Amino acid sequence: TCFMFFTTAVISHNHNHLSIWKSRGANLMTSWVISLFYGHPAIGWVPTHNQVHHKYNNTPEDSSRSPKIFRGNHIFSLLVYPTVTSLVQTKEINEYIRSLWKKDKTSFWMAISEYVVFFGTMIVLFLLDWRRARCFSSSSPSRWRCSSSSA
């Protein structure tokens, strides 16, 4: 799990800065796969990381900076970081997707497809076996206890 976490973080970071494939379709499918391992549609990186973090790099305007509400880095900051940043970044992601609708309908529908694939997969997994599907839920405290014997 830890290996996949770091591997996915590196792949998703690089994929969002520079497409892996020449084919737009292959890059979209790669984003779908990254989303499943990363825990959020990969398109969310564009407004939050590429457009905001690299522009404001850890200044108060950077919605992904850490720490936000605490001084210094410590275990509690690490535990609340995903929730705190997602509350702020959801607005940026929604604004970005709305802007795609106005500027580039193809990119808009590609972004929407990432959400459909991600949440559709999560729904199917929960319908197939909700106990094991908890392992994929980033909000589930039981995800660290999940194993093949947790049926």
DSSP per residue, 22-39: SSHHHHHHHHHHHHHHHT
Examine residue 151 and state whether it is found in any structural domain, yes or no. no
Domain that holds residue 20: 2-145
Confirm whether 76 is domain-assigned: yes
Would you call the peptide bond into 47 cis, given omega within 30 degrees of 0 as the criterion? no
15 lies in some domain: yes
Report if residue 61 sits inside a domain.
yes
Note whether residue 150 is domain-resident.
Answer: no
Distance CA 52, CA 45 (A): 10
The pTM score is: 0.78
Amino acid at 128: L
Q: Give residue 81's pLDDT band: very low, low, confident or very high (50, 70, 90).
A: confident
Q: Which residues contact 88 (CB under 8 A, 6 or more apart)?
A: 63, 68
Classify burial at 33, counting beta carbons within 10 Å of its beta carbon; exposed 0-12, middle 13-18, buried 19 or more. Answer: middle
Confidence of residue 113 (pLDDT cuts 50, 70, 90): very high
CA–CA gap between residue 54 and residue 40 (Å, rounded): 20
- What pLDDT does residue 82 have? 74
Query: What is the dihedral sign for C-alpha 48, 17, 76, 83?
Result: positive
What three-state secondary structure class fits 142? Answer: helix
% of the chain residues with pLDDT over 70: 84
Tell me which amino acid residue 22 is.
K
Q: Say which amino acid occupies 28.
A: L
> How many Å apart are CA 59 and CA 65, to the nearest integer?
7
> Per the domain annotation, does 92 fall within a domain?
yes
- Is 24 within the bounds of a domain? yes
Model pLDDT for residues 33-62, shown as the tens digit of each residue? 998 887 889 998 888 888 888 788 878 887
Q: Classify residue 122: in a domain, yes or no.
A: yes
Of residues 129 and 65, more confidence is placed in: 129
Domains contained in the chain, number: 1
